[in-house]
Amino acid sequence: MAPRSSTGPHSSTKRSYADGCAAAHALDLVGERWALLVVRELVLGPKRFTDLRAGLPGISPNVLTQRLNELEQAGVLRRRKLPPPAAAWVYELSDWGQGLGPILIDLGRWGARSPALPQGAPLSIDALVLSFRAMFDAKAAAGLKASYELRLGEDRFHVLVEEGRMALGRGSPARADAVFEADPNRLAAVVYGGRKLPEALRLGEVRVEGDKAAARRFASLFPLPAPAALPDAGARA
């Protein structure tokens, strides 16, 4: 269990915009470095402190503790103890905090159009799965009805595509037309990085059980948008 910190959202060391705009107030609550990424890691369900560290390897334990305490005091998340036999402390988003999920999805769609979007940078498991929500293209899914299981490390996710819609959540499905098993960054290379699925299968980077045609369709459902056009430098001169 992580140690408690006295630092909170109303601490004198935490800066505020002191602006009456609700958006400015929201940034007071979740605008600190790492705060929204902590929220991202909790959108798909509760996690232990060690799980959050695994999803955010660049954050120090002290900073993670500080952000968790700030978000808890702000009412964005809560801390609770799981019943036996687990008996572990976990962090989970509050009902109000869950409202940040769609905002993060929209922010991901906006960021995907950045001309400077990092290519090949590592993704956490939850970041990859949430990116599927952000990038899902209903037109690409036209006529597809299929159930999938994603096995990413020890994590399991179910995906149902039907009538141009996608339902996605944590846990295995009752049945799956195709099952993917891969490191999240290997799967991201297939979905977003131009790596061909047959080649990834041949090299053992990704494993697929079940309907290979359904697996190929899945890999095509999440096209990245075209980068945004930057203002012409000459026009600004």
Give 22-107's CATH code, choosing from 3.40.50.300, 3.40.190.10, 1.10.10.10, 3.30.420.40.
1.10.10.10
Residues 171-196: pLDDT tens digits? 999 999 999 999 999 999 999 999 99
Domain with CATH 1.10.10.10 in the chain: 22-107
Residues 157-172: pLDDT tens digits? 999 999 999 999 999 9
- For the cut 80, the answer to whether the pLDDT of residue 6 exceeds it is no
User: Is residue 235 very low, low, confident or very high in pLDDT (cuts 50, 70, 90)?
Assistant: low
DSSP states of the chain as a string?
-PPP-S--TT-TTS-------HHHHHHHHH-STTHHHHHHHHTTS-B-HHHHHHH-TTS-HHHHHHHHHHHHHTTSEEEEEPPTTT--EEEEE-TTGGGHHHHHHHHHHHHTT-TTPPSS----HHHHHHHHHHH--TTTTTT--EEEEEEETTEEEEEEEETTEEEEEES--S--SEEEEE-HHHHHHHHTS---HHHHHHTTSEEEEE-HHHHHHHHTS-PPPPPPPPPPHHHH-
Give 118-219's CATH code, choosing from 3.40.50.2300, 3.30.1050.10, 3.90.550.10, 3.40.190.290.
3.30.1050.10
Domain with CATH 3.30.1050.10 in the chain: 118-219
